[in-house]
Structure 1
Amino acid sequence: MWPGEQSPTGGPDPRQPGPPQPNPYRQPGYQQHQPDAGRQQPAPWNAPTVTAAPPPGQGPGGRTKAVAIAAAVVAVAAAVTGAVLLGGGEDDRAEPAPSTPASAADNPRNGDDGRQPTVDGWTVVTNADHGIAFDVPASWKRQSPDWVTYVAEDDDPEEKPLVAMKAPAVLKEKWCGTDGDRDGSVEYTPLANAGTRGNNGARSTGEIARTDSAAWVYGGFAQPDRDRVSTGPVSSFTTASGIEGSVASSRSSGVPKKGKCDVDGKATTFAFEAADGDLVSWSFFGAADVGDEVPDATVRKILTTVREYTPADS
Structure 2
Amino acid sequence: MWPEQQPPGGNPPQQPNPHPQPNPYRQPGSQEPGPHPAPREAPTVTAAQAGPPDGDRRTTVIAVTAAVAVVLAATVTGALLVLARSDDGAAPAPDTSSASASAAPSTTGNPRAGDGVQPTVPGWKAVVNADKGIAFDVPADWVPRSPDWVSYVADDSDPDEKPLVAMKAPAEFKQNWCADDPDRDGRVERTALASAGSRGNNGARSTEEIARADSEAWVYGAYTQPDRTKVTVGPVTSYTTASGLTGSLATAQSSGVPRTHKCDSDGRATTFAFRLPDGGFGSWSFVGAEGVKEEVPESVVRRILATVRLVDTGDS
TM-score w.r.t. length of structure 2 = 0.77
Q: Secondary structure at the match of 1:135?
A: strand
Cα gap change, 1:296/1:155 in structure 2, threshold over 3 Å: closer, same or farther? Answer: same
> Identity across aligned pairs (percent)?
57
Q: Is 1:67–2:62 an aligned residue pair?
A: yes
Please say if residues 152 and 166 of structure 2, whose CA atoms lie closer than 8 Å, have aligned partners that are also in contact: yes
**1:1-314 → structure 2 map (5 Å cutoff):** 24-26=24-26, 29=29, 47-50=44-47, 62-70=57-65, 74-76=69-71, 78-80=75-77, 96=99, 100-103=104-107, 105-108=109-112, 111-312=113-314
Task: Give the number of equivalent residue pairs.
Answer: 278
**Any stretches of 5+ residues in structure 2 without a counterpart?**
12-22, 31-35, 79-96
Listed one character per residue, the Cα deviations across residues 77-131 of structure 1 (whole Å, up to 9, x for unaligned) are: 53449xxxxxxxxxxxx962575451585453xx221322111110000001000
Contact 1:51–1:69 under 8 Å retained in 2: no
Deviation at 1:135, TM superposition (A): 0.1
Q: Distance in 2 between matches of 1:52 and 1:170?
A: 23
User: How far apart, in 2, do the equivalents of 1:66 and 1:73 lie?
Assistant: 11
Task: Give the secondary structure class of the aligned counterpart of 2:64.
Answer: strand
Q: Given the superposition, is the C-alpha separation of residues 107 and 301 from structure 1 closer, same or farther in structure 2, using an over 3 Å criterion?
A: closer
User: Structure 1: how far apart are the matches of 2:169 and 2:216?
Assistant: 21
Relative to structure 1, is the Cα distance of residues 288 and 72 closer, same or farther in structure 2, using a 3 angstrom cutoff?
Answer: closer
Distance 1:244 1:255, change over 3 A: same
Q: CA deviation at 1:145?
A: 1.1
C-alpha separation in 1, matches of 2:98 and 2:248: 30
For 2:29, give the aligned amino acid: G
One-letter code of the match for 2:139? P
SS across alignment from 2:314: helix
* Secondary structure at the counterpart of residue 208 of structure 1: helix
1:146 positional shift: 1.1
What CA distance in whole angstroms lies between the structure 2 residues aligned with 1:192 and 1:60?
Answer: 18
Secondary structure at 1:207 match in 2? helix
- 1:154 and 1:309, CA in 2 relative to 1: closer, same or farther beyond 3 A? same
Q: 1:6 to 1:122 in 2, by over 3 A?
A: closer
**1:147-192 deviation per Cα after TM superposition (whole angstroms, max 9, x unaligned):** 1100011111100111000010011111100011222221111100
- For residues 55 and 127 of structure 2, the distance between their equivalents in structure 1, rounded to whole angstroms, comes to 21
Rounded to whole Å, the distance in 1 between the matches of 2:297 and 2:264 is: 19
Cα gap change, 1:197 to 1:291, in 2 (>3 Å): same
* Worse overlay, 137-146 or 111-120: 111-120
Secondary structure of 1:312's match? coil
RMSD between aligned residues: 3.7
Normalised by the size of structure 1, how large is the TM-score? Answer: 0.77
Q: Distance in 2 between matches of 1:170 and 1:146?
A: 15
| Whole-Å separation in 1 of the counterparts to 2:141 and 2:206 | 34
Q: Tell me, what secondary structure is at the counterpart of 2:195?
A: strand
Measure, in 2, the Cα distance between the counterparts of 1:233 and 1:60: 31
| Alignment-mate amino acid for residue 143 of structure 1 | R
Classify the secondary structure of the residue corresponding to 1:129: coil
Tell me if structure 2 keeps the 8 A contact 1:209–1:270: yes
2:85 counterpart residue number = none
Q: What 5-or-longer segments of structure 1 have no aligned partner?
A: 12-22, 33-44, 82-93
The answer for the alignment partner of 2:86 in structure 1 is: none
Q: Distance in 1 between matches of 2:268 and 2:24?
A: 29
Moved over 3 A (4+): 1-11, 45-54, 59-62, 69-73, 77-81, 97-101, 103-107
Q: In structure 2, the residue corresponding to 1:75 is in which secondary structure?
A: helix
Amino acid at match of 1:140: W
SS for the counterpart of 2:260 is coil
- For residues 243 and 197 of structure 2, what CA distance do their matches in structure 1 show? 18
